A and B are shown apart, each in its own frame.
Chain A
Amino acid sequence: MEDIHVDGDTDLVSIAHMTSITSKELHEQTGALLDRVKQGQRFRVLRGGEAGALLVPATDQVDPPWDEIMAEVRKARAQPKPARPNPVLAERRKRHYAAGLRR
């Protein structure tokens, strides 16, 4: 199952081609599952019906790349809208009056 999910405020992006297995299956088939992981498969381990852990190849890049993190932002960026002033620069300019006093 391909699942790309970014939650509202706190939780992680889980990205992947992943198969869900239960903790019981993990316990009973540890060797076979580790062999499949070594071949590149990835598993989401469910405990009490909820994802409790991920089983991924040691060579896997654990962190998603920027392209995945920024997919929604890039989609929004592609829509034509007027650019907004950068608020960080605007705030600094407002506060930065001391330099003007010394000129």
Chain B
Amino acid sequence: MPLVYADSSVLFAWFHPHDEFSAVVDRAVQQASPDFVYWPFLRFELRHNLRLSRVDPDGEAAWRALRAAEKTASRLRWQSEVTADKMLDAAEELSADKSNKFDCGSADYLHVAAARRLNLLNGIDEFWTCDVAQAGLAKAVGLKTRLFELKRSVRSSTKAPPRTGQRP
């Protein structure tokens, strides 16, 4: 099974049946059958947004699926070496290096820093995101990046992300 670092935007779309990216992410998962990286910040961001969506049966179904996946050892693969304090330091370093070039938010730097760290430690197969700016940053640090885009005909793209988010 490939190991993928999926940003929370992707994991939310994977679990929630009617997210705007749900169909493209579902298709990609069916093709690749990946296991996903899981660590404290990713868990917090994903759980928080899924908790907020528990207002109808779709949100409840998403929550139950997440909790079932969390009980497995491999579908959401817990990364004990990736701790929040270490990743905050790594994100700070990445921001110092790249923020003059990439207009990404702080959470984007945290995710990309964690993915880069894991890639150095164990190797991850891909970095998946629905966020254009974050995809640019991930590519810039050498991660094999898949950006999910919404187009008129819904589909996913593995092409290099557009330069949106990168400062001229």
Binding site for B on A (CB under 8 A): 6-13, 62-66, 69-70, 72-77, 79, 81-89, 91-92, 95-96, 99, 102
Contacts and interface: CB of A to CB of B under 8 A. Distances in A.
Contacts of B67: 6-7, 9-10
A62 B20 contact: no
Contact of A73 (B20, B61, B71): B61
Given A84-B19, A86-B130, A87-B53, A13 B68 contact: yes
Contacts of A70: 15, 65
Contacts of B22: 77, 83
A82 B58 CA distance: 12
Interface of B: 7-9, 12-13, 15-23, 26, 29, 33, 45, 49, 52-53, 57-58, 61-65, 67-69, 71-75, 103-105, 107-108, 130-131
Contacts of B65: 6, 69-70, 72-73
Contacts of B62: 73
A28 to B, nearest CB: 31
Given A88-B12, A89-B131, A72 B61 contact: yes
B18 A81 contact: yes
Nearest to B46: A88
B130 A77 contact: no
Contact of B18 (A63, A83, A88, A102): A83
Nearest to A67: B30
Contacts of B104: 96
Contacts of A82: 18
B131 A69 contact: no
Nearest to A88: B9
Nearest to A61: B74
Contacts of B69: 66, 69
B9 A86 contact: yes
